[in-house]
C-alpha cells in the first residue's frame, strides 16, 4: 500500500487521535463478581489521544486503562458499567465529607497552631460567622497547604500538593507498591514497576494548555497529583484533565495515612480542582450498581449518569437509583430497567474496591488477551494470537503483516451485529462515508487515505474479520461523527 493516497502529516497531524482497533470481545473475568466470560466490550489501543477527542469518548461510555481503551456493552454484562459525572459547581459536601477535610487539616496544622494562629491572626466576627455558615470546599481544601498557611506559628506538618507529569519515578512506585500490597492485599509477585508504568504512567493523552471561556488557563493531559507530608510522598491521584472534566483514573496512598481517609480527601480535592480551574465536571469512573463497595462514588452529589442509548446525562436521583434496583440493564432515556438475561451472578457482589477509596473499575479485558486473573495493572498480557499489539509486547517480535492479524478467539464477535446500545447498526454504518478516513502504517511516515487502499472497493463492512469491517467497527464504536479526528494506527508499537 506504499505510495497510495498520500497525505503529508504536517500541521494537521497533531489534531488526530491514533487508535488501533482490537475488536469486540468477551472479557475473560469480571473484576467485580469474578464471573468468567462476563460480558462484551469493544477494545482499541491508543498510541496518541488529544484531550478533546478523549473527552468525547468518555462521554460515550469509553474509559482507558493505560493505553487500552474500551467501551463496555451494558446490555451484555454481569456487572453493567455506567459512566457518572458530578457537577462541581453544584456540589454540596455531606457532613461526613466536611469532617474528613476538617480532621485532616487539623492533623496537619496541629492544636498548637490553631490556638496560636487564633491569637496572632484573629478572624473578624463576620469571617467567623461566614465560616460557620458556609463550607467553602476550595478554601478548606487548600487551607493546610504549607505555602498558604500564615506563619508564625509553625504547623505540625508541612503539607504540599503538586500537579506533576505522569512519568514514572521510584518514589511514586514505592507508594504504589505499598498501596497495592497492604490496602488491596495484592500478592507481591503481581506488583511490578512494569505494571505500574503500563497502567498509570505515560498515558497516550497529549499534554496541552487551554484557555476556558472565562479566561482561565487550564492544563490538559494525564497528571499525577502528588501529596507530600514533611517532604514524604504519601498519596498520588492519577488524573486525566480534559476540556470539560477532571477524570479520576486511580488514587493510591501509603498505608501510614489510611486513618486520615485519603480516598475521600482525594475525591474532594479533585472536585475542588474541577471547580476552581473551570473543568466543571468530575468523573469518578464507572459505576457498577450491584457492587456494594462502589456506592461511595454516589455519595458525592449531585451526580449524573450517562444513558447508554441516547448518550445524554440523567440526574442520578432516587428515582434513577430505584430503576437500577429493579433492572439489570437500565436505559434512562426510555426509563426502563430490563431484567437481566444472564444467570449466575448474585445481586450484591464483593469487589476488590476498598471503601471510600476511589478506585477505578478493573477493565473487562478481552478473553483472548488474558493469561492471568485480571487486575487493573495487568491490562492485556501478551496476546500474540489476538492480533492486538499491546503495550506489553513492546519489546517482542511481532508478525510481519500488519493487516492480517485476525481474531480467532471464539469470544470475538461482530460489533455491527451486536445490537450494543449506542452503537450504529450495520445498515446505519453503510450510510457512513469512510472514504476520507486516514490510516498510518509502518511503511511510511505519511498518512494513507482509506479509499486508496487496494481492498477498499473489494471488501464489504459486513464481512466480519476483514480490514474494512474492522475499521467500520472502530468508527462505529467511537462514533461516525469523529471520523475527521481519527487516524487508524496500524504501526507496530515498537517505538
Ligand atoms: Zn461481574
* 5 torsion bin: left (phi>0), alpha (psi -120 to 50), beta (else): left
Alpha carbon of 27 to ligand 1 centroid (Å): 10
Alpha carbon of 291 to ligand 1 centroid (Å): 9
At residue 85, φ and ψ (nearest 5 deg) are -150, 150
Q: Please list the residues that pair with 337 across neighbouring strands.
A: 330
**What's the pLDDT score for residue 208?**
95
| Contact predicate 286/361, CB 8 Å | yes
Distance of CA 267 to the CA centre of its chain: 14
Q: Choose among 52, 34, 82, 41: nearest CA to 284.
A: 82
Alpha carbon of 376 to ligand 1 centroid (Å): 15
| Contact predicate 223/172, CB 8 Å | no
Alpha carbon of 204 to ligand 1 centroid (Å): 28
Alpha carbon of 242 to ligand 1 centroid (Å): 29
What is the 3-class SS of the chain, one letter each residue? Answer: CCCCCEECCCCCHHHCEEEEEEEEEEECECCCCCCECCEEEEEEEEEEECHHHHHHHHCCCCEEECCEEEEEEEEEECCCCEEEEEECCCCCCCHHHHHHHHHHHHHHHCHHHHHHHHHHCCCCHHHHHHHHHCCCHHHHHHCCEHHHCCCCCCCCCCEEEEEEECCCCHHHHHHHHHHHHHHCCCCHHHCCHHHHHHHHCCCCECCEEEECCCCCEEEEEEEEEEEEECCEEEEEEEEEEECCEEEEEEEEECHHHHHHCHHHHHHHHHHHHHHHCCCCEEECCEECCCEHHHHHHHHCCCEEEECCCCCCEEECCHHHHHHHHHCCEEECCCCEEECCCCCCCCCCECCCCCCCCCCCCCCCCEHHHCCCCCCHHHCCCCCHHHCCCCHHHCCCCCCCCCCCCCCCCCCEECHHHCCCCCCCCHHHHHCCCCCCCEEECCCCCCEEEHHHCHHHHCCCCCCCCCHHHHHHHHHHHHCHHHHHHEEEECCCCCC
* Whole-number Å distance between alpha carbons of 59 and 63: 9
Q: Choose among 487, 420, 460, 479: nearest CA to 73.
A: 420
* Whole-number Å distance between alpha carbons of 71 and 422: 10
User: Residue ranges of the domains in the chain?
Assistant: 6-65+364-489, 82-360
**What's the pLDDT score for residue 366?**
57
Cα dihedral 369→437→424→388 (10° resolution): 0
At CA 38, angle to CA 36 and CA 44, rounded to 5?
Answer: 110
- CA 452 → CA 448, 455, 465, distances in Å? 7, 8, 20
**What's the pLDDT score for residue 408?**
44
Alpha carbon of 35 to ligand 1 centroid (Å): 6
**What's the pLDDT score for residue 391?**
31
* Whole-number Å distance between alpha carbons of 333 and 316: 13
Alpha carbon of 417 to ligand 1 centroid (Å): 23
Written as tens digits, the pLDDT of the chain (495 aa) is 434 444 444 445 558 999 999 999 998 788 888 888 888 999 999 999 999 999 999 999 999 999 999 999 999 898 999 999 999 999 999 999 999 999 999 999 999 999 999 999 999 999 999 999 999 999 999 999 999 999 899 999 999 999 999 999 999 999 999 999 999 999 999 999 999 999 999 999 999 999 988 788 899 999 999 999 999 999 999 999 999 999 999 999 999 999 999 999 999 999 999 999 999 999 999 999 988 888 999 999 999 999 999 999 999 999 999 999 988 899 988 777 764 443 333 333 333 333 334 344 445 555 544 332 223 222 222 222 222 333 333 333 333 333 334 334 557 899 999 999 999 999 999 999 999 999 998 777 789 999 999 999 999 999 999 999 999 999 999 999 999 999 999 886 544
Alpha carbon of 405 to ligand 1 centroid (Å): 29
Alpha carbon of 375 to ligand 1 centroid (Å): 13
Neighbours of 10 (CB within 10 A): 7
| Contact predicate 224/164, CB 8 Å | yes
Q: How many CA atoms lie within 13 A of 170 on its CB side?
A: 0
Q: What is the pTM of this model?
A: 0.84
**What's the pLDDT score for residue 33?**
85
Q: Please list the residues that pair with 285 across neighbouring strands.
A: none
| Contact predicate 382/393, CB 8 Å | yes
Alpha carbon of 90 to ligand 1 centroid (Å): 32
Distance of CA 163 to the CA centre of its chain: 18
Q: How many CA atoms lie within 13 A of 84 on its CB side?
A: 28
Residues with CB under 5 A from ligand 1 (ion): 30, 32-33, 35, 38, 78-79
| Contact predicate 248/270, CB 8 Å | yes
| Contact predicate 165/207, CB 8 Å | yes
Alpha carbon of 38 to ligand 1 centroid (Å): 6
Alpha carbon of 382 to ligand 1 centroid (Å): 23
Amino acid at each position: 500500500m506504499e505510495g497510495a493516497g498520500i497525505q503529508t502529516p504536517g500541521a494537521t497531524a497533531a489534531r488526530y487521535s491514533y487508535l488501533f482497533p482490537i475488536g469486540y470481545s468477551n472479557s475473560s473475568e469480571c473484576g467485580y463478581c469474578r464471573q468468567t466470560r462476563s460480558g462484551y466490550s469493544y477494545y482499541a489501543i491508543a498510541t496518541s489521544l488529544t484531550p478533546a477527542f478523549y473527552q468525547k469518548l468518555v462521554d460515550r461510555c469509553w474509559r482507558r486503562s493505560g493505553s487500552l481503551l474500551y467501551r463496555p456493552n451494558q446490555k451484555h454484562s454481569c456487572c453493567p458499567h455506567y459512566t457518572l459525572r458530578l457537577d462541581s459547581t453544584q456540589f454540596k459536601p455531606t457532613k461526613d465529607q466536611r469532617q474528613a477535610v476538617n480532621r485532616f487539616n487539623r492533623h496537619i496544622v496541629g492544636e498548637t497552631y490553631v490556638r496560636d494562629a487564633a491569637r496572632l491572626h484573629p478572624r473578624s466576627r463576620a469571617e467567623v460567622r461566614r465560616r460557620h455558615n458556609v463550607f467553602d470546599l476550595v478554601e478548606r481544601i487548600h487551607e493546610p497547604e504549607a505555602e498558604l498557611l500564615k506563619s508564625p506559628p509553625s504547623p505540625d506538618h508541612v503539607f504540599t500538593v503538586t500537579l506533576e507529569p505522569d512519568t514514572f519515578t521510584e518514589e511514586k512506585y514505592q507508594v504504589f507498591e505499598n498501596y497495592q500490597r497492604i490496602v488491596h492485599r495484592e500478592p507481591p509477585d503481581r506488583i511490578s514497576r512494569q505494571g505500574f508504568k503500563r497502567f498509570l504512567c505515560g498515558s497516550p493523552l497529549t499534554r496541552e494548555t487551554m484557555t476556558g471561556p472565562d479566561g482561565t488557563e487550564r492544563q490538559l493531559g494525564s497528571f499525577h497529583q502528588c501529596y507530600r507530608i514533611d517532604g514524604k510522598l504519601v498519596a498520588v491521584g492519577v488524573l486525566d484533565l480534559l476540556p470539560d472534566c477532571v477524570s479520576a483514573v486511580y488514587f493510591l496512598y501509603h498505608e501510614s495515612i489510611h486513618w486520615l481517609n485519603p480516598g475521600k480527601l482525594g475525591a474532594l480535592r479533585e472536585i475542588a480542582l474541577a471547580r476552581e480551574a473551570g473543568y466543571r465536571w468530575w468523573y469518578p469512573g464507572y459505576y457498577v450498581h450491584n457492587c456494594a463497595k462502589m456506592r461511595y462514588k454516589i455519595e458525592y452529589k449531585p451526580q449524573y449518569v450517562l444513558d447508554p442509548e441516547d448518550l445524554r446525562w440523567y440526574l442520578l436521583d432516587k428515582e434513577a437509583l430505584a430503576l437500577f434496583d429493579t433492572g439489570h440493564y437500565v436505559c434512562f432515556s426510555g426509563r426502563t430497567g430490563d431484567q437481566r438475561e444472564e444467570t449466575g451472578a448474585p445481586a450484591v457482589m464483593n469487589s476488590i474496591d476498598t471503601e471510600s477509596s476511589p478506585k477505578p473499575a478493573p477493565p473487562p479485558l478481552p478473553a483472548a488477551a488474558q493469561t492471568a486473573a485480571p487486575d487493573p495493572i495487568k491490562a492485556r498480557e501478551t496476546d500474540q494470537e489476538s492480533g492486538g499489539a499491546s503495550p506489553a509486547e513492546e519489546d517482542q517480535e511481532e508478525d510481519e503483516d500488519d493487516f492480517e492479524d485476525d481474531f480467532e478467539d471464539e469470544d470475538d464477535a461482530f460489533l455491527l451485529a451486536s445490537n450494543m446500545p449506542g452503537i450504529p447498526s450495520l445498515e446505519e454504518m453503510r450510510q457512513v462515508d469512510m472514504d476520507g478516513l486516514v490510516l498510518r502504517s509502518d511503511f511510511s511516515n505519511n498518512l494513507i487515505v482509506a479509499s486508496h487502499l487496494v481492498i477498499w472497493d473489494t471488501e464489504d463492512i459486513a464481512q466480519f474479520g476483514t480490514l474494512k469491517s474492522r475499521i467500520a467497527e472502530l468508527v462505529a464504536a467511537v462514533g461516525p461523527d469523529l471520523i475527521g479526528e481519527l487516524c487508524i494506527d496500524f504501526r507496530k508499537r515498537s517505538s
